Amino acid sequence: MKFQVINEEDPVLVNELVDGVRAHVHEQLGDESTLPLSVISRDDNGELIGGVSGRTIYRNFLIGVVWVDKKYRGTGLGRQLMELAEDEAIGRGCLVSQVDTLSIQAPVFYQKLGFEIIGSVPEFPGSPARYFLMKTYGET
């Protein structure tokens, strides 16, 4: 047995690890249907001004990133993007959405959209607190 520390991005390696996890999950839960899901907005010049991106899997919408350009924060754009993404996820059969965020980012934003904090990691020197949130759409 050998060990190796790798200090650079290696998408091939990450995909190999993910394939291993998927094989294990498949043994436990059967076939999965995972699809990417992104909703974006561009300004009149075609510049990206915000978006939501994640994937749907096992009736979950796993949100990976939500971003709105500073100029458009507070305008309702974030809410619109989230609502469109959630509508698509529900249309795919999702019963819940999950997201995590730092205390310096947007926990209150997600709570206003109906997400509940289901876990957290408290802040410590050099790191803000981290919150894990979930929103339920139907009976789980």
Domains of the chain: 33-136 (3.40.630.30)
The amino acid present at 46, given as its one-letter code, is G
pLDDT in tens, 47-76: 999 999 999 998 999 999 999 999 999 999
- Chain center to CA of 38: 10
Q: Sorting pLDDT into bands at 50, 70 and 90, what band is 129?
A: very high
Confidence (pLDDT) at 132: 98
Query: What's this model's pTM, rounded to 2 decimal places?
Result: 0.84
Confidence (pLDDT) at 27: 79
Query: Which value, to the nearest 10 degrees, does the dihedral of the CA atoms of residues 36, 64, 136, 56 take?
Result: 20
Supply the DSSP symbol for 53: E
Confidence (pLDDT) at 21: 78
For the chain, how big is the Rg over CA atoms in Å? Answer: 17
Compute φ and ψ for 121, nearest 5 degrees.
-120, 120
Q: Distance (Å, rounded) from C-alpha 58 to C-alpha 33?
A: 7
pLDDT in tens, 64-120: 999 999 999 999 999 999 999 999 999 999 999 999 999 998 899 999 999 999 999
pLDDT in tens, 4-47: 888 998 888 888 887 887 777 777 777 777 899 999 999 999 99
Q: Is 50 exposed, middle or buried (0-12, 13-18, 19+ CB in 10 A)?
A: buried
Question: Would you say how long the chain is, in residues?
Answer: 140
Confidence (pLDDT) at 140: 55
